[in-house]
Amino acid sequence: MCWSATADLVAGTAVTGVGVACVARARGGRDLPLAALPLLLGVHQIVEAVVWESGGGRGPATMVWAVIALPLLAVWVPAGVLCVAPPHARRRLVLPLAVGAATAAVLAYGLVTAPVTAEIREHTVRYGFGLSHAALLVAGYLLATVGSLLLSGDRRLLMLGVLAALGAFVCWALWRLEFVSTWCAYAAVCSVVLFRWVRARPDPGRTAPDPAARTPGRRTG
């Protein structure tokens, strides 16, 4: 959520560009879900630019925004982290994925059965979902998304998890004040971190040199 349609469109386009670069640099199929996350975040912001332009309401853009923000990300993030996690961390990541799947199922059901609305207020967009047990759903959502990053066993993804936790709090606080939404800046920072993560990933097609191997034709001793 940015503070205007123009800001959402500009930021969304930039984040989408980072996402395209991440996907292009992905070293293997297991990296693709997380590498494509900035692409998803960028599209999400562009969709919100449409919500701004339509004045909120209950249009298709509002529903698409809600589907990406709620059930899709609740599964996408922990599944992506599990795909790239080192072997020693995979077992503990099953819990965030299971919680994310359960949370996504409840959220998807809520989006289908309850009205989804968007209201423009000053420099923010307020979304209404009519979901019950909101506190429990928020806890499950954060455990699935932020929790999986913190448990990933990867230093850069751990840093992303810390940024996600801090950024979510700051965005929520400013949104509650109806001052301005910082989601666009938050998404941009996370996308840059993911780009650095993709660049640092090892190439699965390249094996490390064997230190015990000897050059043919050379004698030692």
Domain spans, the chain = 5-200
Element (H, E) at 125: strand 124-128
pLDDT band for position 172 (cuts 50, 70, 90): low
- pLDDT tens column, 104-151: 999 999 999 988 999 888 777 888 887 888 889 989 999 999 999 999
CB 48 within 8 A of CB 60: no
pLDDT for res 205: 56
- pLDDT tens column, 71-108: 999 999 999 999 999 999 999 999 999 999 999 999 99
The answer to whether the pTM exceeds 0.75 is: yes
- pLDDT tens column, 27-42: 889 999 999 999 999 9
pLDDT for res 182: 56
Tokens linked to 7? 């800001």
CA pair distance 37, 50, nearest whole angstrom: 20
What is the signed CA dihedral for 133, 139, 143, 149, rounded to 10 degrees?
120
CB 119 within 8 A of CB 128: yes
pLDDT for res 179: 44
CATH class of the domain whose range is 5-200? mainly alpha
- pLDDT tens column, 1-24: 566 888 889 989 999 999 999 999
Element (H, E) at 120: strand 117-121
Beta-carbon contacts of 118 under 8 Å, excluding residues fewer than 6 positions away, are: 51, 56, 57, 58, 62, 65, 125, 126, 127, 128
Per-residue exposure over 29-54, b if at least 16 CB sit within 10 Å of its own CB, e if not: ebbbbbbbbbbbbbbbbbbbbbbbeb
CA angle 92, 95, 96 (to 5 degrees): 105
- pLDDT tens column, 184-215: 667 788 899 999 999 988 776 554 444 444 44
